[in-house]
Amino acid sequence: MADKARILVADDEPHIRRILQFLLEQEGFEVHLVADGEEAWKAVAGFHPDLVLLDVMMPKMDGYSVLKIIRAGFETSRLPVIMLTAKGEDSDKVRGLQGGANDYVIKPFNHEELILRVRNLLEATQREREANPLTGLPGNRAIEREIQERLSGQRHFACMYVDVDRFKSFNDQYGYSRGDRAISFLAGVLVGCTQKYGKARDFVGHVGGDDFVVVTECENARVLARHIIEEFDSGVSGLHDPQDVERGYLEVESRDGRIRRFPLITLTVALVAEAQGRYEHPAELSDVMAELKRFGKIQIDSAVACERRTASGATEMVLVGADDTGAD
């Protein structure tokens, strides 16, 4: 996580609190200690932790009761909680997990294992919070972080901005439920193509609506972009009604009652085939991809728009054809 994660430790044993404080602060976490259940649930509201290490057996209120309060609160219902207990009985673990605990650690615990469990749970929670609720793909914050890390690194990479053409007319004709189905279909195409034709470090993010970002390796970018177009086009007829597919367009009634015709939805992929070393901030790269997207959307059919160096060294925008998948 970019900021120092805040961890609440609730345990009635002073030596356990000291050990946990030492271990967690060594790892760079901000730690707040409480000694009983009543202090614990009050600290959840006052300290606003990113994760709670919660002992089961505590005075005033046990860990199960504190967990119940945490899960009942609107703002805290998804707060990560790791239960701590000296008990090794399966029934105790089951009770905690049924109550909504994310993980369970038995005392005495292995120090390295505990830190790994904390880090893994924090990272998983961050991914969940940043994910797009429809597709489950990383959202805007994760996309910006991924691109910034790539820009700051030494490895060459390519970036694509993927957008559905005439998506508004599709939504107007079929409704938002069918629109969500189309977005989910595109998400599946992007993930499937990167897994099948991409590289191990490829990244797919969902900006929102019908907009996506794909980060891949330079030498593979054009091939991957063409596969994305082909996979989308091969399945797009299944998103439309048969009569619309047969005639090749949608008839959408405008607000003034007139019937307007729109071609079936297609896809535009704006591709910057070499991004590393050219930009310092994701916003600069985004501006270039937006310009390429506008160029690609001039086409009626699905298109991949990218940059190309001319003989004079200038940059021009071109469309990538089915056979044009090599380097410049």
User: What is residue 309's predicted lDDT score, i.e. its pLDDT?
Assistant: 67
User: What is residue 232's predicted lDDT score, i.e. its pLDDT?
Assistant: 97
User: What is residue 322's predicted lDDT score, i.e. its pLDDT?
Assistant: 53
Residues 112 and 184 in one domain: no
With 0-12 CB in 10 A as exposed, 13-18 as middle and 19+ as buried, what is 51? buried
With 0-12 CB in 10 A as exposed, 13-18 as middle and 19+ as buried, what is 76? middle
User: What is residue 328's predicted lDDT score, i.e. its pLDDT?
Assistant: 46
Kindly report the CATH number assigned to the domain that includes residue 72.
Answer: 3.40.50.2300
What residue numbers bound the domain in which 233 lies? 140-319
Taking the C-alpha atoms of residue 175 and residue 239, their distance in angstroms, rounded to an integer, is 12
User: What is residue 327's predicted lDDT score, i.e. its pLDDT?
Assistant: 46
Instruction: Confirm whether 26 is domain-assigned.
Output: yes
Instruction: Confirm whether 328 is domain-assigned.
Output: no
Residues 120 and 179 in one domain: no
Taking the C-alpha atoms of residue 89 and residue 105, their distance in angstroms, rounded to an integer, is 12
Of the three residues 85, 106, 130, the one that is the final residue of a domain is 130
User: What is residue 88's predicted lDDT score, i.e. its pLDDT?
Assistant: 65
User: What is residue 316's predicted lDDT score, i.e. its pLDDT?
Assistant: 73
Residues 150 and 108 in one domain: no
Kindly report the CATH number assigned to the domain that includes residue 250.
Answer: 3.30.70.270
Residues 225 and 296 in one domain: yes
Taking the C-alpha atoms of residue 79 and residue 69, their distance in angstroms, rounded to an integer, is 11
Residues 243 and 288 in one domain: yes
pLDDT mean across residues, the chain:
90
List, for the chain, all residue ranges whose pLDDT scores fall below the cut of 50.
Answer: 1-2, 327-328
Residues 63 and 174 in one domain: no
Residue 78 CB coordination number (10 Å):
15
Residues 25 and 87 in one domain: yes
Counting residues of the chain whose pLDDT is more than 70, the rounded percentage is: 93
Q: How many domains does the chain have?
A: 2
